Structure 1
């Protein structure tokens, strides 16, 4: 069993290294060796994430939701992992539909098309049901999540990405709220284009067979970890298709059946 003081020191140092990498836009080597290597405990990785979450809150940043990662089989294969994770969404990570994201802000960004849920009731039960999520959801929106690993060349394991706030960096929500009863969450088709080129496609069921499965998992997990979802929170339920590398000057348009569209624009250098 590792010495608790050594583990605590490693957690603190990894949290600081990830924060410094983000601020300097300079990626670092995989951090899993410092957290136990192949035997690393997922709870230790979440402890790293929590340190940086609390630091952000102490600095006055506003927590506005969570993202669920690694819910698409296609994305899991891309990254070589086999389970979901979560990360924190802060207000300063949000960009408007079509608003230019400044060049040089991110290290190695990629984009994912997702379904976002905005809740108007707290989710504080130990075990949630579809009914709990449906009753708590005010409306849904199309969304783009911008992921950006602080680990060099995206050489990440589940431990690396969890510690790194699930590789979350920014997000864009559509502007036309839609009620769940008007949507087919399982069979809705998603198409992402860059200019005239189709760069990613998928359907709602690519997200854990149903985005509500992802939302139930998240709600339960957040209660277990002491940061339950609260009224007003945004849930990014997970990617509907493969992530796509973003370059300066790129413009991505996501269209999801029943949801409308949302655009992510990256400023040119």
Structure 2
């Protein structure tokens, strides 16, 4: 397979506002290693075009998301500067192709974190604070018909991020016990807890640091890390308003603009 050609096809999906065929369908020999090479090729394109890497996301880290997507392991993607949207400000619907939303506890790093060999203690020391967050996942693969190879190649289905505005120190909260309610249009659509994410969101942060470290990637101070969803992902459309309430962490709201 040609990594550059597949990366170019995925990049054109947003340019053409049209999802593309699954990578595993057009290139059935593609491996997870190939998929990360495809992802990196796109990251190089985005950064050369002026975008800045602002963090990483861990995807498919909960049993609910693995079951929903039909996969059996986590993955990771990059968070670019244009993916961040302000809370309660209308998010342009044209930004996405097939958006879904999920609640997460975002880590903001105060120290660098570089694997291999990172422990939970190292991760705790590196976290400056946490924020409630809503991640907008999106797929450039038609009908979300994805394998693990497809989602990795598609930058772990990264679409957008909305961060809440109330920082909380790790010492003030047990992330495993943080409960979450997710409302759309005022209607309760899901509940979850921090323990759904690999037993604790901190475990996802450790997994990420130790996974990208051997590739020469260091998690930097100021980076945002999304460890994974506490619930299933839910489709969103123009005009929707979604609120996640995470008990002591506070709330975060994502509002999607209405198309003209």
Q: Partners in 2 of 1:31 and 1:60 — Cα distance? A: 27
Deviation at 1:151, TM superposition (A): 0.3
Provide the secondary structure at the position in 2 that maps to 1:88.
strand
Corresponding residue of 2:134: 144
The reply on whether 1:123 has 2:81 as its aligned counterpart is no
Cα shift readout 1:150-187 (whole Å, capped 9, x = no counterpart): 00000000000000000001000001110001112111
Unaligned runs of 5+ residues in structure 1 are 1-6
Counterpart residue number, 2:198: 208
Alignment RMSD (CA, Å): 1.0
Q: Deviations over 1:211-252 (max 9, x none)?
A: 011000001111122222111110001000011000110000
Match of 2:20 among 11, 14, 28: 28
Given that residues 253 and 262 in structure 1 are in contact (C-alpha distance below 8 angstroms), is that contact kept between their aligned partners in structure 2? yes
How far the C-alpha of 1:135 sits from its partner, in A, is 0.4
How many angstroms apart in 1 are the aligned matches of 2:93 and 2:113? 37
User: Which residue does 1:237 correspond to in 2?
Assistant: 227
Runs of 5+ consecutive residues of structure 2 not aligned to the other structure: none
Please name the residue that 1:189 is paired with. Answer: 179
CA contact 2:115–2:211 (8 Å) conserved in 1: no
Aligned partners of 2:174 and 2:116: how far apart in 1?
Answer: 27
Q: Alignment partner of 2:95: what SS? A: coil
What secondary structure does 1:104 align onto?
helix
Query: For this pair of structures, how many residues does the alignment match?
Result: 259
- Aligned mate of 2:249, from 256, 259, 262: 259
> Which of the residues 225, 228, 235 maps onto 2:218?
228
1:30-60 CA-partner distances (Å, limit 9, x unpaired): 011344x2x5321110000000011111111
TM-score scaled by length of structure 1: 0.94
* Rounded Cα–Cα distance in structure 2 between residues aligned with 1:155 and 1:42: 16
The answer to whether the 8 Å contact 2:62/2:230 transfers is yes
1:192·1:201 contact (CA, 8 Å) conserved in 2?
A: yes
- With normalisation by structure 2, the TM-score equals 0.97
Q: How does 1:51-200 map to 2 (within 5 A)?
A: 51-200=41-190
Q: Secondary structure at the match of 1:60?
A: coil
